[in-house]
Amino acid sequence: MAPTIRRIAVAAAFLAMAAVPAALAQAPAPAATPSGPPNVTAILEKAGQYTTFIRLMKSTQQDTQLNSQLNNSFNGNGYTVFAPTDNAFNNLKPGTLNSLTQQQQVSLVQGHVLPQFYTFDSFETASNPVRTQASGRDGPYTLNITANTNNQLNVSTGVVDVTVNNALSAVKPLAVYSVDKVLLPFELFGAKAPAAAPTASEGKPKKGGSSAAASGPAGSDDSAPTGAASARAVGWSIAGLAAVLGYLL
């Protein structure tokens, strides 16, 4: 049994590594220092034109959260961030951000983050709908992502559609793609979204950096999926299992 598991883990690691060169061909040189973990804030600062998203990540503590997750070797799947430009935020209806509670702003930011590293090419292996980091508190928050024939991605929340063609960085464990629209989650802005703020999780302690694993694909946020959410989680579970096996061996 152990050799089989090892083979699975090795195969998973090989597949993950095999995906990297394709991304390197498309992505500019990584903005992060080669030593140490990648720093999403530094990548966005270097690229410029992401000041609103940086500010929103700071005010929701998602910058330190993500950076600490990136510095946690247990999170072997890596992360993908869709970073809206300042223009994207300027094009929102006035007051859109201010109409959100703090918790909803956290969900908005996390709705731009996938708990998995994707190159342009490896998005083809993603099965829609793809769960974002915002999933778990009040159900799954998802994106539909499809590669189109021009080597671009179409990303849809169900409320917002955007085409992605610019990688700011795509070096495992962190891929950052520029988007020129804010990915307003269907769960907050769709027709049936409740007007009231989700408050169920407010008693849940948010420990910022130290609770990195809690938001990972195998974390407690995914522990009680039901029905369709459970089916959606299968893809993540397989990837998570491979990562865990790889970690244990």
Binding site for ligand NAG (CB under 6 A): 36-37, 39, 41-42, 45, 67, 71, 128-129, 144, 146, 148, 154, 156, 158, 161, 163
CB 148 within 8 A of CB 163: yes
Exposure letters 103-116 (e unless 16+ CB within 10 A, then b): bbbbbbbbbbbbbb
Nearer to ligand NAG (CB atom), residue 45 or residue 124:
45
Minimum CB distance to ligand NAG smaller for 12 or for 88:
88
- The SS3 call for residue 65 is helix
Give min distance, CB of 147 to ligand NAG, in A: 7
Beta carbons of 141 and 132 less than 8 angstroms apart: yes
Q: Residue with structure tokens 């409320």? A: 159
- The CB-of-1 to ligand NAG minimum distance in angstroms stands at 32
User: Could you give the CA distance from residue 249 to residue 247 in angstroms, rounded to a whole number?
Assistant: 6
The nearer residue to ligand NAG, 37 or 139, going by C-beta atoms, is 37
Nearer to ligand NAG, 41 or 166 (CB): 41
3-state helix, strand, coil in the chain (%, to 5): 40, 15, 45
* Minimum distance, C-beta of residue 57 to ligand NAG, in the bound complex (Å): 11
For residue 229, the minimal CB distance to ligand NAG (Å) is 13
Tell me the residue type at 53: F
Q: What is the nearest approach in angstroms of ligand NAG to the Cβ of residue 63?
A: 7
103 or 112: CB nearest ligand NAG: 112
Residue number, nearest CB to ligand NAG: 158
φ, ψ (nearest 5 deg) of residue 126 = -75, 135
